[in-house]
Amino acid sequence: MSLDFLNQRLSVPSRQLGEPGPDAAQLESLLTAAIRVPDHGRLSPWRLLLIRGEARARFGARLAEIHAAQDPSASEAVLTKDRERYNAAPVIVAVIARIVSGHKIPEQEQLLSAGCVAYNLLLGAQALGFGAQWLTGWAAYDAKVAELLGLADGERVIGFVHIGTAAEAGVERQRVALAEVLGEWTS
């Protein structure tokens, strides 16, 4: 058994992702695999929201409107970036954590389970031959955007996973050496 797949995992910038995206069968397989994550208490503390087709441009336009209303001094370049951010990759999956407050399963475990879904989307997209990038940005943390996405109380965006065909190969970045982050508890 080899760990080559994990050692080769990398993100492809969303602006470099384009058509074709996963077809219906690939997308269903990808999403089904993505939700096979650790889930203490079987809460399924996450849900997925697809943003694709013409909805991508509408979502970007609404983000620009929200941003302009909140910051009237935002430059046109910044608002254009908001408008265009979701137009490259053919499929964007908003991973949404559904946190059950006061449950015996700590909120952090629920949040981490949702994070695992986003990471599985990255791995699964790569396994299917697609590029992907997990992004947040201001929209992931904004109350007006949460309202736009129809988030309920206790829900929050973990990230937007952009999936498509890479226009060029992803570039490996400098990674931390294991020795810099590894310790051993002995007491």
Residue 165 annotated as binding site: no
Handedness of CA 163, 21, 120, 42 (dihedral sign): positive
Is 36 labelled a binding residue?
yes
Known binding residue 11? Answer is yes
Q: Is 91 exposed, middle or buried (0-12, 13-18, 19+ CB in 10 A)?
A: buried
**Amino acid in the structure at residue 39:** D
CA atoms within 13 A on the CB side of 107: 8
Residues paired with residue 92 on neighbouring β-strands, in sequence order: 51, 162
d(C-alpha 162, C-alpha 21), whole Å: 10
User: Is 9 marked as binding a ligand?
Assistant: yes
**Nearest of 179, 180, 137, 182 to residue 158 by alpha carbon:** 137
Question: Residue 185 annotated as binding?
Answer: no
Residue 10 among known ligand-binding residues: yes
Contact residues for 39 (Cβ-Cβ < 8 A; gap 6+) = 45, 113
Residue 38: closest CA among 117, 93, 101 = 117
Q: Is 75 annotated as a binding residue?
A: no
Annotated binding site: 9-11, 36, 40, 134-136
Annotated binding site for FMN: 9-11, 36, 40, 134-136
